[in-house]
Chain A
Amino acid sequence: DAGVIQSPRHEVTEMGQEVTLRCKPISGHNSLFWYRQTMMRGLELLIYFNNNVPIDDSGMPEDRFSAKMPNASFSTLKIQPSEPRDSAVYFCASSLYIQGRGEAFFGQGTRLTVV
């Protein structure tokens, strides 16, 4: 398996523009996570899905952020409109969570810069 695949690897956009980050989890995994990493706040869980259903989105900073998982092999994180403070590295991770067990595998991340 190729692992968790994220695209794009780098994104530079202007303030106010819409940004869409994409994630392909490992085939067969049933949980998917979106994290944001910054120097100031470290690694923050934004939202996670189990069997394509959003379980906890309490980490989503505000309504400008939305995430979808239309099927087991694809998820998006959208920011509209983007702001400079959204600049960060966004990671997607997936796991096979069964009976309380299952480690997460991370993608390479998308480095977002909003200017």
Chain B
Amino acid sequence: GDSVTQMEGPVTLSEEAFLTINCTYTATGYPSLFWYVQYPGEGLQLLLKATKADDKGSNKGFEATYRKETTSFHLEKGSVQVSDSAVYFCALSGQHGSGNTGKLIFGQGTTLQVKP
């Protein structure tokens, strides 16, 4: 079945450091890919998305590129801030017509801690 694998955390960085959180997936066809962020005590918020190969999703300085050839959707940010400290989830929604109706499959989450 479809699945998502994220790099294990926690990831600890200093402010203004470069961030990469790896995400790879297993799915048939062309799923839609997402990154969600969860701040302490809150629900998940959509950070960015990509719906077809080679698409780049971006938001708030974060970006991720849908790589079909490597089945990856790595999250990057050039300069992190303390306020970026949160848990980040990679997720996929299976290709339409393959029995999927929007079911989201999540990775296990990666905790990011940014220190001043």
Chain A interface residues toward B at CB < 8 A: 4, 31, 33, 42-43, 45, 48, 50, 55-56, 91, 93, 95, 97, 99-109
Return B100 CB to nearest CB of chain A, in Å: 7
Convert B87-111 into 0s and 1s, putting 1 for each residue whose CB lies closer than 8 angstroms to a CB of A. Answer: 0010001011100111111101100
Query: What B residues does A104 contact at CB under 8 A?
Result: 46, 102, 104
Q: CB distance A45 to B102 under 8 Å? A: no
Q: CB distance B103 to A101 under 8 Å? A: no
Query: What B residues does A95 contact at CB under 8 A?
Result: 102
Return B73 CB to nearest CB of chain A, in Å: 14
From B15-23, B37-45, B62-70, B76-84, the one touching the partner chain is B37-45
Chain B interface residues toward A at CB < 8 A: 32, 34, 36, 42-46, 49, 51, 89, 93, 95-97, 100-106, 108-109
**Interface SS of A by simple majority:** strand
Q: CB distance B101 to A55 under 8 Å? A: yes
* A43, A55, A109: most-surrounded residue (chain B CB, <10 A): A43
Q: CB distance B102 to A48 under 8 Å? A: yes
**Interface SS of B by simple majority:** strand
Given contacts A91-B44, A104-B46, 19 further A-B contacts (CB under 8 A): A31-B102, A33-B104, A42-B106, A43-B44, A45-B103, A48-B101, A48-B102, A48-B103, A50-B101, A50-B102, A91-B43, A93-B44, A97-B102, A101-B32, A102-B102, A103-B46, A106-B43, A106-B44, A106-B45
Q: CB distance B34 to A103 under 8 Å? A: yes
Query: What B residues does A43 contact at CB under 8 A?
Result: 44, 89, 106, 108-109
Whole-angstrom distance between the alpha carbons of A56 and B1 in the complex?
A: 14
Contacting residue for B32 out of A31, A56, A100, CB 8 A: A100
Whole-angstrom distance between the alpha carbons of A89 and B82 in the complex?
A: 25
